[in-house]
């Protein structure tokens, strides 16, 4: 038996945490032990892990001793408080929240895009926002081949991005409307059933939402290229699972739609479904549970000299959160980076 490897899932009772456990099991992640953590509210409850169940433990500052990797998906506040304690105990954190993404001490990683950024980690590695991840898996090969100047993206984001409560709201409101009851709005400011909301996360001073600015800022950090400009409109749609994105790209050099299809069909993590004559294009309802990011509707933007339009779809809870984090953990193992060089970097 090789060296012991203990992995913690923090936020194990949530929508992302459950998918995290499923992903670790599906991919036979080589952990000798997996521990599940959540708040005191759910301590003692059970979560599924393969054919067995794990008993949820309460997250406390001192639980990280002896844990090698902790994958967090318990919100930014929990990550802010507990991730430094984990790193201080020598545990490498892969964090799904936005808390550490733009922190200079933390690599922000999509394994198909910038795995080399892991080399300089200080104990906390950030997982990007789901909408950024799927967009960059598709745009990285194009950026490498012809250079990307500018991206205009509109997202169509599923309610699972809001966690269990988002799924429940869409289901409840749909039942209400079919029963001629007024739909109750508990999670979103307006009804989401049979509606679309051009509003995800909070509004900022520049009138963009925080979700939109995450896409702009995270792209620059992951590509390590401030010359790439991104403008985003993030929209919540009444879909349970799977984010879709309409993406317009202006490139430095010309790339034809045909060249783009060939390039993307050979790129890691991508599948091209693109045959307009046969009505073939990717859709959220048909890709739930899949690991790949799908691209279709690739065509030249005839309004500019060097432009492409495309439609990018992925399972937001899988590739947008759980899978990307597990792939980061796999890459850490492959590169022998499961250690914290300086345990004090995040301690005040
Ligand atoms: P969720 O279904 O509401 O689950 C929240 C989880 O966090 C639960 O396990 C909850 O445990 C736990 N938690 C809350 N407060 C805690 C505390 N003080 N200590 C320990 N655990 C605590 O939400 P979700 O959809 O899984 O999302 C969780 C987080 O993942 C989000 O807040 C976000 O930061 C991140 N996320 C990232 C992406 C992405 O784009 N990469 C997408 C979705 C979510 P209890 O059962 O004890 O309440
Ligand atoms: O709404 C979506 O589709 C994605 C949601 C992501 C999310 C939800 C709550 C808090 C995040 C995130 O990952 O950016 C956060 C956060 O800021 O940590």
Give the whole-number percent of the chain exceeding pLDDT 90: 99
| Ligand (nearest to CA of 18) | 1
**The pLDDT of residue 180:** 97
Q: What is the pLDDT of residues 43-65, one digit of tens each?
A: 999 999 999 999 999 999 999 99
130 is a catalytic site residue? yes
Ligand 1 atom 32: residue of nearest CA: 75
User: Looking at the predicted structure, is the pLDDT value of residue 24 above 90?
Assistant: yes
User: Looking at the predicted structure, is the pLDDT value of residue 119 above 70?
Assistant: yes
**The pLDDT of residue 2:** 56
E-strand ranges in 39-116 read 46-49, 52-58, 69-72, 92-95
Mean pLDDT, residues 121-132: 98
Are 119 and 335 in contact by the 8 Å Cβ rule? The answer is: yes
Q: Taking all residues of the chain, what is their mean pLDDT, rounded to a whole number?
A: 97
Q: Which of 91, 106, 130, 260 is catalytic?
A: 130
Ligand 2 atom 15: residue of nearest CA: 97
**The pLDDT of residue 72:** 98
Task: Please list every protein residue whose CB sits less than 6 Å from any atom of ligand 1.
Answer: 11-17, 38-39, 41-42, 59, 73-76, 78, 96-97, 127, 129-130, 161, 163-164, 320-321
Q: From the CB of 236, is ligand 2 less than 6 Å away? A: no
Ligand 2 atom 1: residue of nearest CA: 161
Mean pLDDT, residues 124-135: 98
Mean pLDDT, residues 313-335: 98
Output the CA 14–ligand 1 centroid distance in Å.
Answer: 5
In whole angstroms, give the CA distance from residue 341 to residue 218: 25
Mean pLDDT, residues 328-344: 97
Output the CA 256–ligand 1 centroid distance in Å.
Answer: 42
**The pLDDT of residue 156:** 99
185 is a catalytic site residue? no
Q: Given ligand 1 and candidates 163, 187, 325, 327, which is best to mutate, with the most ligand atoms within 8 Å of its CB?
A: 163
Q: Say if pTM beats, i.e. exceeds, 0.85.
A: yes
Output the CA 75–ligand 1 centroid distance in Å.
Answer: 5
In whole angstroms, give the CA distance from residue 212 to residue 158: 15
In whole angstroms, give the CA distance from residue 311 to residue 326: 25
**The pLDDT of residue 90:** 98
Q: Given ligand 2 and candidates 71, 74, 77, 98, which is best to mutate, with the most ligand atoms within 8 Å of its CB?
A: 98
In whole angstroms, give the CA distance from residue 5 to residue 24: 13
CA separation, residue 313 to residues 166, 223, 243, 293 (Å): 19, 20, 6, 6
Atom of ligand 1 nearest to the CA of 75: 32
Mean pLDDT, residues 199-224: 98
User: Looking at the predicted structure, is the pLDDT value of residue 283 above 90?
Assistant: yes
Q: pLDDT-based confidence at 1, cuts 50/70/90? A: very low
**The pLDDT of residue 293:** 98
- How is 171-205 classified by DSSP, letter by letter? HHHHHHHHTTPPPP-SSSSS--TT--BS--S-B-T
Q: What is the pLDDT of residues 140-191, one digit of tens each?
A: 999 999 999 999 999 999 999 999 999 999 999 999 999 999 999 999 999 9
| Ligand (nearest to CA of 75) | 1
Mean pLDDT, residues 234-248: 99
User: Looking at the predicted structure, is the pLDDT value of residue 322 above 60?
Assistant: yes
């Amino acid at each position: 038996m090789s060296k012991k490897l203990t992995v913690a899932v923090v936020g194990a009772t949530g929508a992302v945490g459950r998918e995290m456990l499923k992903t670790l099991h599906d991919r036979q992640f080589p952990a000798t032990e997996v521990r599940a953590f959540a708040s005191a509210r759910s301590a003692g409850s059970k979560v599924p892990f393969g054919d067995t169940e794990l008993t949820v433990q309460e997250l406390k500052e001192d639980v990280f001793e002896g844990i090698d990797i902790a994958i967090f998906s318990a919100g930014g506040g929990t990550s802010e408080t507990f991730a430094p304690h984990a790193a201080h105990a020598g545990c490498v954190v892969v964090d799904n929240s936005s808390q550490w993404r733009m922190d200079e001490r933390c690599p922000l990683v999509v394994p198909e895009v910038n795995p080399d950024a892991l080399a300089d980690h200080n104990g906390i590695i950030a997982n990007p926002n789901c909408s950024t991840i799927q967009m960059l898996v598709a745009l990285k090969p194009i950026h490498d081949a012809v250079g990307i100047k500018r991206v205009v993206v509109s997202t169509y984001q599923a309610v699972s991005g809001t966690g269990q409560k988002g799924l429940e709201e869409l289901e409840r409101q749909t039942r209400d409307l079919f029963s001629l009851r007024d739909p109750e709005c508990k999670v979103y400011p307006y009804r989401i059933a049979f509606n679309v909301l051009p509003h995800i996360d909070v509004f900022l001073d520049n009138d963009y939402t925080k979700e939109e600015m995450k896409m702009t800022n995270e792209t620059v950090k992951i590509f390590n290229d401030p010359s790439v400009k991104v403008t985003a409109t993030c929209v919540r749609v009444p879909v349970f699972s799977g984010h879709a994105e309409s993406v317009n790209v202006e490139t430095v050099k010309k790339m034809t739609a045909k060249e783009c299809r060939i390039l993307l069909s050979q790129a890691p993590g991508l599948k091209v479904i693109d045959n307009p004559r046969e009505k073939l294009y990717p859709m959220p309802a048909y890709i739930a549970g899949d690991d790949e990011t799908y691209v279709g509707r690739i065509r030249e933007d005839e309004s500019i000299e060097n432009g492409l339009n495309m439609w990018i779809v992925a399972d937001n809870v899988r590739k947008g959160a759980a899978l990307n984090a597990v792939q980061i953990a796999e890459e850490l193992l492959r590169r022998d980076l499961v250690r914290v060089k300086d345990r004090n970097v995040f301690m005040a």
